[in-house]
Amino acid sequence: MSISKRCSTAPTLFKRLKNYFINRRGREALPVRLHWRRLYVLPSKPGLFFFLIGSTMMLAGLNFNNNMSLMLVFLLFGLAQVILYKTFFNLKNVVIDQVHAAPVFAGERYTLRLQLLAPTDRYQIQVKMDESVDTANILHQSGQWQLAADAEQRGYQPLPRLKLLTRYPLGLVTVWAYCQPKATVLVYPRPEQPCPSFAHHGGVEGPDSSVVQGDEMDDLRTYQSGDPIRDIAWKKSAQGQGTFVKKYHLKQGKELCFDYSQLNLKDIEKRLSRLTAWVVEAERQTLTYQLKLPQFDSGMGRGERHYHECLTALAVFGPGGVS
Amino acid sequence: MASQLSTKQVFWIVLAVVVAVLPQLYRLPLWFAPMMTVVIAYRFYVQVKHIKKAYNIILMMVAIAALLLIVYSQGFGLSREISVTILITMTVLKLLETYRQRDALLVVMLCYFVAMTRFLYSQDLVLVMYLLLSAWVTTHALAVINYQHGSAWFEKKQLKASIGWLAMALPFAVLFFLAFPRLGSPIWGSPDIFGEGKTGISDEMSPGSIIELFMDDSPAFRVTFGSNNKPENNQLYWRGPVLSEFDGRTWTRHEFRRSRGQVAYDRQAAIIEYGIEMEPNGRHYMFGLDVVLNAPQGSLMSPTSTLFSMNKVNQLKHYRLSSAVTDRLYQRLPQYQRKWLLDFPEGLNLQTQIMIKQWQATDDSAYGMINKALNWFRTEDYLYSYSPPALHSNEVIDEFLYESRRGFCEHFASTFVVMMRMAGLPARVVTGYQGGVDMGDYVLVKQSDAHAWAEVYIDQPDHELGGYWQRVDPTSVVSPERLFRGSGNIIEQRRSFFDFPWLRQTREHLDRYRFRWNQWVRDFNVSKQQALFDAIGIQHRDGKVLAVILLSVLAASGALIFSWLWWRQRPRYNNLQQWYLRFMDLFKKEPAIYARQSAGMEAVTHSIVEQYPGLKKSVNDFQQCYLRIRYRNEQLTPADRRRLQHFFERLKKDVKKRYHSQSRS
Amino acid sequence: MTTTQPQKPQKDNSVTAIELIIDCVSERILDKESAIRQVIAALLAGGHVLLEDRPGLGKTTLAASVAQVFGLDYNRIQLTSDMMPSDVLGVSIYHPEKQAFSYHKGPIFTQFLLADELNRATPKTQSALLEAMAENQVSMDGKTYPMDEVFFVMATQNPIDDSGTYSLPHSQLDRFLISLSLGYPSEAGERKIYSSTYLQSMKQPLPALSNAEQLLSWQQAVTRVHAAEEVLDYLQWLITQSRKHPHIQQGLSPRAGLGLFRMAQSQAFMAGRDFITPDDVTMSFYPVCRHRLLTDDGRLADEYIEEMLDSANLV
């Protein structure tokens, strides 16, 4: 029984040890220089085939005492050796200079932009992050890579481990290195889809745009969870055909206030999701808005900076945003 | 990653295959070249038209069809011919399914193998050069498959890089070649299974057969004599197959199943020892200076004094011989042999027979007959020519003697032997080479030195062996020059369109390198390796020592390549940049300043002046001068250099003073 | 005639003349010599300047002083949201008696234009002004009216009070050669402002130390300043870096590259050299990039510009 148990745990144990070994440096602050001690070198599949062909040729040359065949074989082995160093030098001393991913919403894919530096030109360096692969060169001392990954959770998410790999110039040898950069990608909460209409949280009404269309009975919509209670069209709802809420169409210039504490939703994530949707929608319609969270108040505003400030606050809010 | 190959990549793959296969084309079946052309054309068509890969089943059928063709044209079995043909055919057919990088790498790597198989047939210097080129093309194709620098078909940078890698690999290859353990004898098969059916002396001779060889200037063998004992050129009769059976037109060899019995030679004849390096001829014959005393190891001596190798000579063969330089060899001639040696077609060549009868009437002695015949050739109007009129009739001897009167050595030898037999003297034709070019430390014998002469058996009853073979060369009577200067030099006519004296000389000169090549590289073997190890003081050649040697070779070449690459990767500075670095060196002890090296001259001088206001003048002067020289719109002149030097010296002095005063205070 | 021989002394003259001009302006705008140098370099390079600053830091004074010392015609427009393009460019007015339109030139027809609070104008007015700036002419009713050969615009923007403003789109910002921010003066400098002599001198106009003609010839001379391959390599490297940088939304345009080159030439000319050194490029890089580079979350890319300059290798 114990044997079978050991058999089943052996690969995972090996994998764990391997991961432990690879990650032994922990998260590293950039820039990271790929010192030669960090590089792993092994022959690639074509390299093994090259070796196989070379060995066959050597056997033939030795058997028939054919000196020129032997010379050719040794030339090829010498070539393999040169290529080994060439490939090694192609990755040695590469500096992982910067990684950066523009913030995205949870559920989207984020694009990680990565810059590598090297004092000399380097070619065909592959960077892998989970499934995503990109290959580029370092020319004129710098090169850029783009990788994509799914943003699942909101908050400052750590980046997955990067694998830098090169087989240049002949593909006979693979040289690679791992790095876990101490960088994060900011993931905003997933905006609620479709965007619920703006709640009336007592935002200051703008001077020239206080018109609220559909204040009358003809413009109602069905109640969604989380709608403020005071927006409920009681009269209409009382008719027993469902609960209705007054629908506000806001003209440009309306100043909105999105308040976390006023949302009538149990789940924190759902609240954040709705607030996010509102912030996005308000920015899209170039409205002025304010976001209020416990311990955060953005103040009235609009524009890129304000928008990102609000979304960042939403992303890092509470327990879910810390990871 | 399964990206399609670009047209340029396909071009290089195809080029690698073509270059690797080309030198073997001559020995592949006739259908091969058209097939290859079609495959390549199809591959390019597919590339340009973006056609998908054919179904595997079709490719399979094509491959099976090619296999059947090989079996049809070369037979069934696992002989080396067939295996090499299969390898090459499959490599070429693989092009049909080469659409991805993985397959491309496979095909191109197979090209190395294909190139190598050519060496199994010949290891000539020129071929080696060609195959190095092939290795280059193949390596470059590999590089192009992996990454294309630029879009030009022949990208200079990448071509240079690939030749650079091979150049860097060369020291390793040479060292490993010298140190790697060799097999004394093959494990499987024998070394002679690969070979080329080269031209050379054959065991048949008919009018015109030696003339063919006369056209060929390639080397037959090379001879190294000991110090100063090379005989005169007219003594250099290199004995090959002896032909004794004549059907009226063609001479053939008689098969003997024994080796040579007891022989004797003139005690006064000089004994010469020498070494021969024989080019492969694809046959069993070996050549030696007339008369060879003993057969070397691995060969035997036929009763006709011809050397036979146990295996076909398909590789460069080295052997040492000792010969007695004499034209007569005492040997017993059994009765049954005498009968063959007197045989000639009786009903033919009556005119000659009548003439011989007349001669016999005056002088019946053997030497009398020989002299009469030689005299006849000398006095009558006979001409030595490599382009004699063709002899069509049945009566070849009559036609030659009385009508055409022009002939090559084979005509004279053949006619002479028949005449002797008519006169009742046992005689035979000996083929081989005559003469050779003295290359200083060796004698080069070329195919064009092929020769035929006669041997007559003279009875000498008082000798214990009953008689001797006397060498008679009728050609020497017709053209005495032939023996001294070689046939190529005495005939004025050009043998072929490209036959120029300077070209012949160049070829002979080149042979010197070939000889060295053969000696040092092509024929490097266990014993030479042993000698090499002895020379550098390694006596024990057990596994441990060898492993140590190989590992140190590996380490040494690795270190060499590593340091070379490392050195190549270092930043390189031009003259003015070096000035800047020298300037920076003055402030080596100031980490705050020295760390700013990459910020450039202006930033550095700024921080220097900030830190040491006292240096302001000299630093600024140097900086101004330097900036002007480096960035203005003019070339650097010696005057500039002097000025720069001047400011630099002053600055250096000031800096030193500065340190001095600092340390004092 | 244009051999190197007669040019030399003239060049030295021009350097001292420009130094004098800078000194003169520096007396007005205390403690801001480097900003003054940048403005004059941009003027010599034939480009326009965007000043981003809070009010009351001397933007107007700077513009007026520079115009005065160079002896240029000076106009000032205070842009507001109700301004029409015609208020800037001018209008065609129909004359019933002549039965024809006649064109009344707007304030833009001058040599030195101060466009105050550019971001208050509507996009329409902004683009009309910027188009005129780029093409050095005004197109109206199918006719083109060329402007003076010397045409220099100094636009100001107030970055803080952005209610009711129309911030310039990125593509329009590219039309300004450099952007500057004066910032507060140092304490000592500020103290001087309150001294009576300074206040007294403010009342007097500055002497015209140069004129449009000379400015034109200087502008010509700037274009002849030589740039060695190595310097161009450095310049190109910087531009490429800005395009490659992971944090930067959009790299420098070729127009920005040309601007950088012109600014470097101008800096070299002001230093009395007929060749550019890498330092000229370094000095010009920040003002040329500042308004052109934005990070992908909408901030200024100042720290990254610094970083790019630091990572260069100028051995």
Q: State the DSSP H helix or E strand holding residue A22, giving kind and residue range, or none if neither.
A: helix A2-22
Residues with Cβ < 8 Å from C192, sequence gap 6 or more? C30, C198
DSSP codes joined into one string, A182-248: S-EEEEEPPPPSSPPPPP---PPPPTT---EET-STTSEEE--TT--GGGB-HHHHTTTS--EEE--
Q: Which of C228, C278, C315 lies nearest to residue B602, judging by beta carbons?
A: C278
Band of residue C284 on the pLDDT scale cut at 50, 70, 90: very high
Those chains having 3 or more beta-carbon pairs within 8 angstroms of chain C are: A, B
What distance, in Å, lies between the first and last C-alpha atoms of chain B?
Answer: 69
> Are B172 and A171 in contact (CB < 8 Å)?
no
pLDDT of residue B153: 87
Paired residues of A135 in beta bridges: A126
Those chains having 3 or more beta-carbon pairs within 8 angstroms of chain B are: A, C
Q: CA nearest B121 in A: which residue?
A: A66
Tell me the mean pLDDT in the region C134-160.
83
Band of residue A205 on the pLDDT scale cut at 50, 70, 90: very low
What distance, in Å, lies between the first and last C-alpha atoms of chain A?
Answer: 39
Min Cα separation C267/chain B (Å): 14
> Which of C279, C282, C284, C310 should be substituted to probe chain B, the one whose Cβ sees the most B Cβ atoms within 10 Å?
C279
Q: CA nearest A306 in C: which residue?
A: C298
Domain borders along chain C are 4-221, 225-315
Q: Tell me whether strands A288-293 and A255-259 are parallel, antiparallel or unpaired.
A: parallel
The answer, for C7 touching chain B at a CB cutoff of 8 Å, is: no
Phi (first) and psi of residue A242, to 5 degrees: 110, 170
Residues B483-529: tens digit of each pLDDT: 777 766 666 666 666 677 788 788 888 888 888 887 777 777 777 78
pLDDT of residue A2: 43
Segments of B108-261 assigned E as strands: 204-205, 219-225, 237-246, 251-253
Answer left, alpha or beta for residue B498, where phi above 0 means left and psi between -120 and 50 means alpha: alpha
CA atoms of B333 and B457, how far apart (whole Å)? 8
Beta-carbon count within 10 A of C278 CB: 25
Contacts of C299 in chain A (CB under 8 A): 305
Band of residue A211 on the pLDDT scale cut at 50, 70, 90: very low
Paired residues of C154 in beta bridges: C49, C114
Residues with Cβ < 8 Å from B63, sequence gap 6 or more? B90, B93
Q: Are A87 and A167 in contact (CB under 8 A)?
A: yes
Q: Residues of A near B (CB-CB distance < 8 A)?
A: 45-46, 49-50, 53-54, 56-57, 60-79, 81-83, 85-86, 89, 119-120, 123-124, 133, 167-171
What are the Cα distances from residue B175, in Å, to B171, B180, B286, B560?
6, 8, 34, 12
Phi (first) and psi of residue A234, to 5 degrees: -65, -40
Instruction: Name the 3-class secondary structure at B306.
Output: coil
Per-range mean pLDDT, top range of A235-239, B9-13, B214-218, B387-391: B9-13
Tell me the mean pLDDT in the region A315-320.
76
> Which of B113, B190, B525, B562 should be substituted to probe chain A, the one whose Cβ sees the most A Cβ atoms within 10 Å?
B113
CA atoms of B152 and A139, how far apart (whole Å)? 19
**What would the two tokens of residue B347 be?**
């009903």
Instruction: Name the 3-class secondary structure at B436.
Output: coil
Contacts of A99 in chain C (CB under 8 A): 246
Instruction: Name the 3-class secondary structure at A180.
Output: coil
CA atoms of B249 and B62, how far apart (whole Å)? 49
Per-range mean pLDDT, top range of A244-248, B175-179, B411-415: B411-415
CA atoms of A10 and A30, how far apart (whole Å)? 35
CA atoms of B286 and B283, how far apart (whole Å)? 9
Tell me the mean pLDDT in the region C217-243.
91
CA atoms of A317 and C284, how far apart (whole Å)? 42
Least confident of A249-258, B334-343, C97-106, C120-129: A249-258
Q: Are B298 and B309 in contact (CB under 8 A)?
A: yes
Q: Does residue B585 surpass a pLDDT of 60?
A: yes
CA atoms of B28 and A100, how far apart (whole Å)? 60
Residues A70-105: tens digit of each pLDDT: 899 999 999 999 999 999 999 988 999 888 888 899
Q: Which of A100, A115, A305 lies nearest to residue C298, judging by beta carbons?
A: A305
Burial of A265 (0-12, 13-18, 19+ CB in 10 A): middle
Q: Does residue B590 surpass a pLDDT of 90?
A: no
> Are C279 and B602 in contact (CB < 8 Å)?
yes
What are the Cα distances from residue B27, in Å, to A150, B21, B82, B118, B279?
61, 11, 11, 10, 19
Residues C45-85: tens digit of each pLDDT: 999 999 988 778 888 888 889 999 999 999 999 888 888 88
pLDDT of residue C257: 93
CA atoms of C308 and C288, how far apart (whole Å)? 14
What distance, in Å, lies between the first and last C-alpha atoms of chain C?
Answer: 38
> Are C297 and A141 in contact (CB < 8 Å)?
no
Q: Sign of dihedral through CA atoms C7, C10, C16, C17?
A: negative
Residues C150-198: tens digit of each pLDDT: 899 999 887 665 566 777 777 788 889 999 888 888 888 888 888 878 8
DSSP codes joined into one string, A58-108: HHHHHHTT-HHHHHHHHHHHHHHHHHHHHHHHHHTT-EEEEEEE--EETTS
Min Cα separation B593/chain C (Å): 14
Residues A117-134: tens digit of each pLDDT: 888 889 999 999 988 999
Paired residues of B445 in beta bridges: B221
Contacts of C312 in chain B (CB under 8 A): 598-600
pLDDT of residue B662: 66
Min Cα separation A8/chain C (Å): 44
> Are A74 and B180 in contact (CB < 8 Å)?
yes
Instruction: Name the 3-class secondary structure at B75.
Output: coil
Q: State the DSSP H helix or E strand holding residue B482, giving kind and residue range, or none if neither.
A: helix B481-485
Order of strands across the sheet with A95-101? A32-33, A95-101, A109-117, A142-150
Residues A256-293: tens digit of each pLDDT: 888 888 877 778 888 888 889 988 888 888 788 888 88
Q: Does residue A320 surpass a pLDDT of 70?
A: no
The answer, for A31 touching chain C at a CB cutoff of 8 Å, is: no
Give C38's Cβ-side CA count (13 Å radius).
Answer: 26
Looking at residue A284, its amino acid is R
Contacts of A94 in chain B (CB under 8 A): none
- Torsion angle, alpha carbons of A274, A276, A282, A284, to 10: -120
Cis amide leading into C123 (omega within 30): no
Q: Does residue A65 surpass a pLDDT of 60?
A: yes
Superfamily of domain C225-315: Magnesium chelatase subunit I, C-Terminal domain (1.10.8.80)
Q: CA nearest A304 in C: which residue?
A: C298
The answer, for A209 touching chain C at a CB cutoff of 8 Å, is: no
Paired residues of A41 in beta bridges: A175
pLDDT of residue C276: 93
Contacts of A144 in chain C (CB under 8 A): 244, 246
What are the Cα distances from residue C139, in Å, to C115, C131, C133, C145, C176?
19, 9, 12, 6, 20
> Looking at the domain C4-221, which fold is it?
Rossmann fold (3.40.50)
pLDDT of residue C58: 83
Band of residue A251 on the pLDDT scale cut at 50, 70, 90: very low
Burial of A269 (0-12, 13-18, 19+ CB in 10 A): middle
Q: Does residue A218 surpass a pLDDT of 60?
A: no
**What would the two tokens of residue B300 be?**
């035997």
Band of residue A5 on the pLDDT scale cut at 50, 70, 90: very low
The answer, for B580 touching chain C at a CB cutoff of 8 Å, is: yes
Contacts of C314 in chain A (CB under 8 A): none
CA atoms of A257 and A201, how far apart (whole Å)? 6
**Averaged pLDDT score across all residues of chain B:** 85
> Are B627 and C277 in contact (CB < 8 Å)?
yes
Instruction: Name the 3-class secondary structure at B25.
Output: helix
DSSP codes joined into one string, B228-265: T-PPPGGG-EEEEEEEEEE-SS-EEEPP-SS----EEE
> Are A115 and C311 in contact (CB < 8 Å)?
no
Looking at residue C300, its amino acid is L
**What would the two tokens of residue B319 be?**
């052997």
Percent of chain C with pLDDT over 70: 93
